Copies of this chain bind each other. A is one copy, B any other.
Amino acid sequence: MIKQHILVTVDNVIFTISENQVQVLLIKRNADPFKWTRAIPGWFVLESEDCEQAAYRELQEETNVKNVYLEQLYTFSDVKRDPRGRVISIAYMALVARENMTIKAGSDAAEANFFPIENLPKLAFDHKKILGYALQRLRRKIEYTNVAQYILPKKFTLSELQKVYEIVLGQDIDVRNFRKKVDKIWLVKATWEKEIGVKYRPAKLYKFVESKLKIVEVL
């Protein structure tokens, strides 16, 4: 065998939508390097777990989350990406409904908060690059799959579904064309319930019929 000293981490780009914006979870680091700087949550992979397990474990450390979508993004391995030495990072992207999640600060963090992607603080390491990559993946993926369901609550209105697309893609979509597509392609079903507590005409609530990730032409 060979002598090699490379450390392996995972980093989780955790997206959600709230306040009509795509938001990403960032921690404030409580240790050097980049002490007090914001960063994507991540940690070293244990020898007894694969990277995906590590990503889930890390996810549980920062959030209390159920029903999350997790996907491996890319492996970042620039020689100088970490001042402590040679560290590569396998980046994951997670999508969660805001309501399915509470935040706590993990062991490496002074605090953890969501930030709208339009207004990000300075980030540690190469995390800006990782985040850019994740956002690009999210935008592509939402166009040809039904991942959007992971960002929505179990029951949702079609307006909410549409809003997710408009927010992620950053452009308005015609209501009628959108609904035509949803009718044809998505596995959604109207429930008999309606929105409550709104001060206008309440919308029908829908639910997803299948929760599997499907490759579909959405827009």
- When distances are taken between beta carbons in the complex, the residues of chain B under 8 Å from A74 are 72
A207 contacts the other chain (Cβ, under 8 Å)? no
Are the C-beta atoms of A75 and B72 separated by less than 8 Å?
yes
Q: Which of A86-136 contact B (CB under 8 A)?
A: 86, 88, 90
Are the C-beta atoms of A88 and B48 separated by less than 8 Å?
no
Q: Please measure, in the bound complex, the distance between the C-alpha atom of A120 and the C-alpha atom of B42, giving whole angstroms.
A: 39
- When distances are taken between beta carbons in the complex, the residues of chain B under 8 Å from A78 are 50
Contact mask A1-32 → B, CB, 8 Å, 1/0? 11011111000000000000000000000000
Given A50-B78, A75-B51: A4 in contact with B45 (beta carbons within 8 A):
yes
A49 contacts the other chain (Cβ, under 8 Å)? yes
Q: Which of B1, B4, B52 contacts A84 (CB 8 A)?
A: B1
Whole-angstrom distance between the Cβ of A79 and the nearest chain B Cβ: 6
Contact mask A67-78 → B, CB, 8 Å, 1/0? 000001011011
- When distances are taken between beta carbons in the complex, the residues of chain B under 8 Å from A56 are none
A44 contacts the other chain (Cβ, under 8 Å)? yes
Contact mask A172-211 → B, CB, 8 Å, 1/0? 0000000000000000000000000000000000000000
- When distances are taken between beta carbons in the complex, the residues of chain B under 8 Å from A7 are 1-2, 4, 6
Are the C-beta atoms of B2 and A44 separated by less than 8 Å?
yes
- When distances are taken between beta carbons in the complex, the residues of chain B under 8 Å from A44 are 2, 4
Given A1-B85, A74-B72: A79 in contact with B49 (beta carbons within 8 A):
yes
Given A74-B72, A75-B90, A90-B75: A47 in contact with B84 (beta carbons within 8 A):
no
A/B interface sample: 10 pairs, CB < 8 A:
A1-B7, A1-B85, A2-B44, A4-B7, A4-B44, A4-B47, A6-B8, A50-B78, A51-B88, A52-B77
Having A4-B46, A72-B74, one finds 14 other A-B pairs with CB under 8 Å, namely A1-B85, A2-B7, A2-B44, A4-B8, A4-B44, A5-B47, A6-B6, A8-B8, A8-B88, A49-B79, A50-B78, A51-B88, A52-B77, A75-B75
